[in-house]
């Protein structure tokens, strides 16, 4: 028995390291090789040069994004203009008997004029009235509408950033998410999105960076796949242009 507290801690550390050695040696033995104790030499960091230069043509980016996003359970619509986006959202709102919509506070979404064209549906704009309980408003919304900051064809994912006017709750809490993707923001590789954050530096990062690849999916409990537990159960990616 250790005489002092420090001796007791030292004894616990020694026992822990001995167990760690036994565990790692056992893994190396099962792999049939000696343990690797030195850090391997890396000839380069990050993606290799051929991947940095890899880029699909626009139509293939749209096709690949659509295939990957739909494979994860999402829906994709190709639309020519923001007028078509407006009509698409209006049609879906009427089809689903939507009562409440919340959207980001952005000029591109102001141009949709949903407040003017949707009768019988309440449309709220995130943080436009600072005294409102915006998380609660987002949680009760049927539709959340956001502008995608970036999208990636190879992974079938949408990137949405958070700010004072772009609350993360708009994309996380409503039942249905409508994410509008201007076609010039759809890139081939995820690295084309991540490079913007590297260039900005840690002091200029947004409040949140969210990657959306279809509806919320969870199989944490007994491997039972459930849709819509941690986010919208229906997600539409509207590619515009």
Task: Give the neighbor-by-neighbor strand order of the sheet with 75-79.
Answer: 75-79, 234-240, 176-182, 143-147, 100-103, 122-125
Determine, yes or no, domain membership for 40: no
Give the mean pLDDT of 218-236: 74
Q: Are residues 7 and 94 in the same domain?
A: no
Determine, yes or no, domain membership for 97: yes
Has residue 220 got a pLDDT over 70?
no
Q: Are residues 173 and 224 in the same domain?
A: yes
Residue 232: both structure tokens together:
């919208």
Q: Are residues 5 and 117 in the same domain?
A: no
More confidently predicted of 59 and 222: 59
Has residue 229 got a pLDDT over 90?
no
Q: Are residues 120 and 21 in the same domain?
A: no
Give the mean pLDDT of 46-69: 92
Has residue 168 got a pLDDT over 60?
yes
* Contact between residue 121 and residue 101 where contact means Cβ atoms under 8 Å apart: yes
Q: Are residues 107 and 17 in the same domain?
A: no
Q: Are residues 23 and 86 in the same domain?
A: no
Determine, yes or no, domain membership for 42: no
pLDDT for the residue 175: 94
Determine, yes or no, domain membership for 41: no
Give the mean pLDDT of 68-73: 94
pLDDT for the residue 98: 95
37-66 exposure pattern, b = at least 16 Cβ within 10 A, e = fewer: eeeeeeeeeeeeeeeeeeebeeeebbebbb
Q: Which residue range is the domain that position 9 belongs to? A: 1-35
Lowest-confidence range among 90-94, 165-169, 182-186, 202-206? Answer: 202-206
Determine, yes or no, domain membership for 44: no
Q: Are residues 209 and 90 in the same domain?
A: yes
Give the mean pLDDT of 112-120: 90
Q: Are residues 67 and 95 in the same domain?
A: yes
Has residue 217 got a pLDDT over 80?
no
Q: What is the mean pLDDT of the chain?
A: 90
Has residue 143 got a pLDDT over 90?
yes
pLDDT for the residue 231: 74
Q: Are residues 119 and 72 in the same domain?
A: yes
Number of structural domains, the chain? Answer: 2
pLDDT for the residue 109: 95
Q: Are residues 71 and 190 in the same domain?
A: yes
Residues 148-163 have pLDDT tens digits of: 999 999 999 999 999 9
The pLDDT-based confidence of 43 (bands split at 50, 70, 90) is confident
């Amino acid at each position: 028995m250790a005489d002092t507290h420090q001796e007791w801690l030292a004894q616990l550390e020694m026992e822990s390291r001995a167990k760690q050695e036994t565990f790692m040696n056992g893994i190396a033995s099962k792999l049939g090789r000696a343990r690797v104790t030195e850090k391997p030499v890396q000839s380069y960091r990050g993606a290799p040069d051929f991947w940095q230069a890899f880029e699909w043509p626009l139509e293939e980016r749209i096709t690949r994004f659509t295939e990957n996003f739909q494979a994860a359970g999402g829906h994709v619509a190709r639309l020519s203009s923001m007028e078509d986006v407006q009509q698409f959202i209006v049609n879906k709102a009427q089809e689903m008997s939507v009562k409440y919509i919340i959207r980001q506070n952005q000029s591109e979404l102001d141009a949709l004029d949903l407040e003017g064209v949707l009768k019988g549906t309440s449309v709220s704009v995130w943080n436009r009235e600072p005294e409102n309980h915006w998380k609660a408003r987002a949680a009760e919304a049927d539709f959340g509408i956001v502008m995608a900051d970036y999208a990636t064809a190879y992974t079938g994912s949408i990137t949405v950033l958070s700010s004072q006017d772009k609350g993360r709750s708009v994309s996380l809490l409503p039942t249905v998410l409508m994410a509008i993707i201007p076609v010039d923001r759809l890139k081939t590789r995820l690295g084309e999105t991540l490079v913007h954050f590297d260039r900005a530096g840690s002091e200029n990062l947004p409040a949140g960076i969210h990657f959306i690849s279809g509806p919320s999916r969870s199989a944490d409990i007994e491997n039972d796949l459930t849709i819509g537990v941690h986010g919208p159960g229906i997600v539409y990616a509207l590619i515009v242009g």
